[in-house]
Structure 1
Amino acid sequence: MKILITSGGTTEAIDSVRGITNHSTGRLGKVVAETFLNQGHEVTLVTTKQALKPDSHPHLSLNLISSVTSLQKALESLVPKHHVLIHAMAVSDYTPVYMTDLEELKQTSNVDQLLEKNNTETKISSKSDYQVLFLKKTPKLISQVKQWNPSIQLIGFKLLVDVSKEELVSVARESLRKNRADLIVANDLSQITADAHQAWLVGHDIIQEASTKREIAQLIYKEVTKDD
């Protein structure tokens, strides 16, 4: 079986030396990849330079990306060639449009004009005490997966913060419906530590609990391969 896994977190550039990123380490994606590799499956891991990765393996292919745009290009190419996508990557919700100092913003009568501009400097000046950064929403790539490959098994992830199990499961079920996913791993940032990772694997007719990254990986493996 050909397994496609995304892990780590994207970075959106402000200029050539600055960017907006997140704290995702890629540790869970690494564990999931190792679980499938250990059972003889072919794994393509789409991840970032900084993220944790499995050791070299004859059945492992790495595809390094950085931004949402590069991730989209990779998925458009790879999704049609795989049986399963486990989309564990923390994908940026917003990307920079334009950064300016507060004085320019005050002197602008039409903010829409600023949204049509682009920073041309390799490194934006840091002389001003205050800078204003305009962001725009990035596309939800998980919602496009079934357009690229209608038959792929799609496992998504949903991360919330300090909510009840009932809310986590409810949000996961909505994601199942909206993205035509097969499974959603619902987890709460407040329940994730170096040694523990509380999560629920939510399907259309199942809810299974896990308390470590290894258990999450095992549950995903069991569900993905149960009809194999």
Structure 2
Amino acid sequence: MKILITSGGTTEKIDSVRGITNHATGSLGKHIAEIFLEKGYQVTLVTTKQAVKPNEHPLLTVHTITNVESLLTTLEPLVKNHDVFIHSMAVSDYTPVYMTGLSEVESAHRVSDLLQRHNTETKISSKDDYQVLFLKKTPKVISLVNTWNPDITLIGFKLLVGVSKEELFAIARKSLQKNKARYIVANDLTEIDENHHHAYMLDESNVYEADTKESIASLIFERVTNHD
């Protein structure tokens, strides 16, 4: 059984020195990879340069990506060649289209005209007191997995902030069904800190609970190998 894991967080470039990113460290993906490696499974890790990673291991292959575009290009052939895909990466929902001063936006006849433009500067000028950044939605990676490999065992993740457990479960199960996942790991950012990570692993009818990144990794390993 070949295991594919994503971890860390993507970064979408605004210009050569600026970008939109998130606070994902890759530590959960690291724990998940380590437990499968310890048990003798072949692991492929798709992650970012900044993310924490397992130590070198003869059964570990690492692919480094930057943004959603490079993630998609890297993932598609890997998904087709693996048995299990654990998608713990925090993927950017939007990518920059055009950044400009407020005065240009106010003087434009139509906002849609600005969406056809692209920044060509290596570093966008900071002379304006206000800048407007136009973003467009990126593809949902998890929604493509089943089209690439309908037989893969997919474990997805859903992170929300400050919601009830009932709402968290409902949204997680909607993702489960929509993306044809085996499990969704649902967590609330308000229940995550340096030493604590409360999460629920859901399938169609069951809920499994964990309180740390290590216990989440152990739970994922247990459920995945139970179906091996």
Partner of 1:143: 143
Alignment of 1:1-228 (within 5 A): 1-228=1-228
Paired residue type of 1:97: V
CA root-mean-square deviation: 0.6
Name the TM-score, length of structure 2 as normaliser. 0.99
Q: Deviating runs (4+, > 3 A) in structure 1?
A: none
Name the TM-score, length of structure 1 as normaliser. 0.99
Paired residue type of 2:95: T
Shift in Å at residue 227 of structure 1?
Answer: 2.9
Residues in 1 aligned to 2:147 and 2:118: alpha-carbon distance in whole angstroms: 32
Paired residue type of 2:21: T
Paired residue type of 1:19: G
State the percentage of identical aligned residues: 63
Paired residue type of 2:94: Y
Residues in 2 aligned to 1:164 and 1:38: alpha-carbon distance in whole angstroms: 36
Residues in 2 aligned to 1:15 and 1:132: alpha-carbon distance in whole angstroms: 14
Paired residue type of 1:64: T
Shift in Å at residue 223 of structure 1?
Answer: 1.0
Give the unaligned 5+ runs of structure 1: none
Q: Deviations over 1:146-192 (max 9, x none)?
A: 10000000000000011121111111100001111110000000000
Name whichever of 211-220 and 84-93 sits farther off. 211-220
Residues in 2 aligned to 1:150 and 1:2: alpha-carbon distance in whole angstroms: 15
Residues in 2 aligned to 1:161 and 1:227: alpha-carbon distance in whole angstroms: 31
Q: Deviations over 1:41-95 (max 9, x none)?
A: 0000000000010001000000000000000001112100100000000000000
Paired residue type of 2:38: N
Give the unaligned 5+ runs of structure 2: none
Paired residue type of 1:191: E
The count of residues paired between Structure 1 and Structure 2 equals 228
Residues in 2 aligned to 1:149 and 1:223: alpha-carbon distance in whole angstroms: 20
Residues in 2 aligned to 1:165 and 1:98: alpha-carbon distance in whole angstroms: 38
Residues in 2 aligned to 1:125 and 1:83: alpha-carbon distance in whole angstroms: 47
Residues in 2 aligned to 1:10 and 1:139: alpha-carbon distance in whole angstroms: 13
SS of the residue 2:156 aligns to: strand
